[in-house]
Amino acid sequence: MSKESLKTNPQLLILIADLKAKTREDPKAAIWRDIALRLEKSNRVWAEANLSKIERNVGDGETIIVPGKVLAAGTVTKKVNVAAYRFSAKAEKIINAAGGRTMTIKELMDENPTGSGVRIIG
């Protein structure tokens, strides 16, 4: 983490460190470093993905990661697995109701250490 970083959330700092460590363990898992670098940026430029964007761009059964927040504008009819730093309560409810799954970035990293088959949205 750079010296000019102003991140103060201890859970976020731990997540960023874990993501970078995972990439050092397995250089083929470069997706985790990409996510860490995106989360290090200012919160103002973090990704925000609406459900309508997920519905348009993601296929049934796919796993995606949003390095930011998932918002509830729109609907989802596909079974998608979505990992994000944050979810609005309504977005989480809609994804789960469609048969999909919501999880934290850490949970996805633990389940899929190489990051294979995971797409970044946002």
In a domain, residue 20? The reply is: yes
In a domain, residue 1? The reply is: no
Percent of the chain with pLDDT over 90: 87
Find the CATH number of the domain harbouring 48: 3.100.10.10
Helix ranges (DSSP H) in the chain: 10-25, 30-40, 51-57, 89-97, 105-111
pLDDT tens per residue, range 7-21: 788 999 999 999 999
In a domain, residue 3? The reply is: no
pLDDT tens per residue, range 39-64: 999 989 999 999 999 999 999 999 99
Could you give the number of structural domains in the chain?
1
- Angstrom distance (rounded) from CA 65 to CA 6: 24
Closest CA to 121 of 40, 61, 52: 52
For residue 117, the model assigns a pLDDT of 94
In a domain, residue 97? The reply is: yes
In a domain, residue 16? The reply is: yes
Task: Identify the domain containing residue 82 by its residue range.
Answer: 10-120
